[in-house]
């Protein structure tokens, strides 16, 4: 499942970060690394960007970038 598929208010665990090397580096610098828990706070009115909470920080990310991140849902 991709991060962009998680519904508003849902949580997931990061499984894999894909994309180009520059995108992966930027995402890792934001604290989004394998094994981190991520919470989808909300989507913008047109569903782009997504507001996420990772390690207590609020992060906004484009849906296009979120599609490059594989996650496992938290039950």
> Which CATH number fits the domain that encloses residue 69?
2.30.30.90
Q: SS in 3 state form for the chain?
A: CEHHHCCCCCEEEEEEECCCHHHHHHHHHCCCCCCCEEEEEEECCCCCCEEEEECCEEEEECHHHHCCEEEEECC
Owning domain of residue 44: 3-73
pLDDT for the residue 74: 85
State mean pLDDT over 25-51: 92
* pLDDT for the residue 6: 93
Worst-scoring range by mean pLDDT, 15-19, 61-65, 71-75? Answer: 71-75
Q: Does residue 41 surpass a pLDDT of 80?
A: yes
How many domains does the chain fold into? 1
What is the band of 21 on the pLDDT scale with cuts at 50, 70, 90? very high
């Amino acid at each position: 499942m991709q991060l962009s598929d998680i519904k508003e208010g849902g949580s997931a665990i990061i499984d894999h970060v894909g994309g180009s090397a520059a995108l992966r580096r930027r995402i890792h610098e934001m604290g989004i690394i394998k094994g981190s828990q991520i919470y989808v706070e909300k989507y913008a009115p047109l569903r782009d960007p997504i507001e996420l909470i990772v390690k207590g920080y609020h992060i906004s990310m484009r849906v296009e970038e979120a599609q490059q991140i594989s996650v496992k849902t938290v039950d």
